[in-house]
Structure 1
Amino acid sequence: MTTTPPRRRVTDIVAKLPEATCTGDRHLCLAVRGKTFGYFLDDHHGDGIVGVALKAAAGEQEALVRSDPQRYYVPAYLGHRGWVGMRLDVGEIDWSEVRELLTDAYRLQAPRRLVAQLEG
């Protein structure tokens, strides 16, 4: 049985979000109408981590990192803004959770009309 690489799984999830884009080479910028809601990172500045850094609601970063510090982390450059990192290179990945976090981050940046399409 073959598994889909994390980068491809992330791009597949983002492709289902209205007007969301993934741009970049090794690292991907996840955006909607020019507003970034996340990044797919592969060994960013040599940190050895494959994961996603996502915009998060107030208090979510702290709660997630506290709940599972092996999986969640405070990402460089964005952590001070409340963004949360989720490792995709340790243990079993819960792709429904990844989808939920990506969708939540998207909701924080997307126009209401696009967010309404998710519920519709």
Structure 2
Amino acid sequence: MDALERLRALCLALPEVTERPSHGEPTWFVRGKKTFVMFADHHHDDRLAFWCAAPPGAQAELVAEDPERFFRPPYVGHRGWLGVYLDVEVDWAEVAEIVADAYRQIAPKSLIARMP
């Protein structure tokens, strides 16, 4: 399974998540409206990654801790969103936690309560 397929499976496993292209990339939405994860296939550089909503402070902490795996994405980085490189060795258990945290930042409490 490639990185996009694995990321897709993680996102679509969450309640009321849909996928559609946005800005030319696969993007996942809560209830078809609010973006929480966006795939970035060399979107603004030569790297494979995804961008996602993140809890307050997470972006700064993770980028400082491991800039080879995490970055501040363009356009949404100023809002605290996190960039995660997928062209390095990926810890998919950690990515699953990051995706779940992104969902929790965007989804209403009623959907968060239904998370697996």
Partner of 1:61: helix, strand, or coil?
helix
Select which of 14, 28, 33 maps to 1:17.
14
Stretches of 4+ moved more than 6 A in 1? Answer: none
Partner of 2:115: helix, strand, or coil?
helix
Pair member with larger Rg = 1
Select which of 51, 55, 58 maps to 1:53.
51
Partner of 2:61: helix, strand, or coil?
helix
Distance, in Å, in 2 between the alignment partners of 1:111 and 1:80 is 22
Select which of 46, 71, 74 maps to 1:73.
71
**Structure 1 stretches of 5 or more lacking a match?**
none
Q: What is the aligned length?
A: 114
Partner of 2:86: 88
Query: Identity over aligned residues, as a percent?
Result: 42
Partner of 2:99: 102
What's the CA shift string for 1:25-65, capped at 9, x where partnerless? 851111102111120110003x0111110111111100000
RMSD (Å), alpha carbons = 1.3
Q: More helix by proportion, 1 or 2?
A: 1
Partner of 2:40: 41
Partner of 1:63: 61
**Structure 2 stretches of 5 or more lacking a match?**
none
What code does the residue aligned with 1:29 have? T
What code does the residue aligned with 1:40 have? F
Distance, in Å, in 2 between the alignment partners of 1:21 and 1:96 is 22
Partner of 2:36: helix, strand, or coil?
strand
